[in-house]
Structure 1
Amino acid sequence: MTNREKYHFDDFTLDNYKRLIELAKEKGYQFILHKDEFVPERKDIIWRHDVEFEPDIALKMAQIENDLGVQATYFFQLHSECYNLFDDHYRGIFHQIKDLGHHVGLHFDCYYWRINDEKQLDEFITIDRQYFEKNLGVEIDTFSFHNTTPFTQSCLEYRYGNLINVYSSYFKEHYNYCGDSLGYWRFDRLEEVLNDDTVQHLQVLTHDANWADEVLSPRKRYIRAMYNRADRLIEEQIESVHVLGMFCPDDDID
């Protein structure tokens, strides 16, 4: 068996992403948010995105969801090494996703603050929440952990910093879980979970750079996302300096 078959590389195209959402709808799932009340008799799904690498891809996914009439939650980082949420481009992406009707939240990085106890966790989530809301002009009610650790996995309270914790014992007790961390289905394949009629309540986690227009390995999907970002930045920067008149006319030098 090849890695393509073993790790279901074909699952991670944007066309198949659309098909998976259509499958969830066909199976009778109601798309809800973390803040919604748990209703035992309702078949529901919480669809969540941790935006970690390239928000441009997250926007493509948000557009697919909007076209299909479903709502997801997008968790953005304040301290990402991959993107600056406050530059004009990514701030625009953030508001486009929100304007498509999606929910937004904080993707919180304990390592950035060197947090090692729940009192600190409560304090620094409050700081990040206030900064997030003030600078982006929104109110948020939910957070997810970035790069979970044994410590964050032990933080099971429903709220920290006045934000709902998607890793709380409440969600672990009430919802099955399926995620694409590291670019493959870590535990169960999403299509199989959606087709399992015994699953009535489900939380799905996806990451932007794990998805691409064509079939690629996880590593190549990530590399493609980084090259696409580099191409955009080069084009934008060259255009901006041309507008400012900072370049002389091109000379061909052999």
Structure 2
Amino acid sequence: MRLTPQTINNASIVLNPEGKLTLQLRNLSIPYLENLGITQNKFAVIDLTNNDITELANIPANLSNLEVLLLGGNRISYVDEETFSDENGIKSLSLINNSITKFQACFRNKFRCLENLVLIGNPIVNHKHYRYFIIWLVPTLKVLDFKKVKDGERQEAEKLFGVDKEDFNELALSYLHQGAQSKTEENGVSTSDDRNLSQIGRKLTPEERVELMKKLESATNLDEIDEIEHKLKTGMV
């Protein structure tokens, strides 16, 4: 189904748990983004979970009130570097269970307000030092993949990629020019949990998977997030 003006006008409008006005466009088999300008900058949240979108593009520059984009369960492999204005106010972006394989410099340039990012379920999380590089690439992040960003992680990221966030060192540049790799261990600590989480998620029934993804995206506190993560990791629903 195309994202026509009629589809947008007929969509449900709700208040999320934080009281933000939300446009719900879930489960509509939408192949690409279009016509969002007719929303007239009314919404803080646009929910496009579980569609068939392959590219994050065509977000109008005038959506200054938009703070949250929910795009989990699509087929997104690329973020169009021209789709967001430099002054956008995106604070939370969920790309859980998509097809992103490569890092992009636009995450630094285009998401200057981003505090919460979810990339679990994308091939990119299998890259060695994935978490450190994303933390370095997006200095404003407070939560990555439902886990609070710690000061120690910021320090380790700077050791790897440099203190100057405006300058890509040789290692950082290499990350921008290669696809996802298999994770081994980072600093002697096994990082297979993210990979296992992704695999477990694929083994769940479609109904269970959808329900868990909904719970993850609407979770409002760390205890709730930890409980859901535990269920995903153990396969217990």
Q: If the TM-score is normalised by the length of the shorter chain, which range does it land in?
A: 0.3 to 0.5
Say which structure is richer in helix. Answer: 1
The TM-score, its normalising length taken from structure 1, stands at: 0.31
Q: Comparing both chains, which one has the higher relative contact order based on Cα–Cα distances under 8 Å and sequence gaps of 6 or more?
A: 1
The normalised TM-score by structure 2 is 0.32
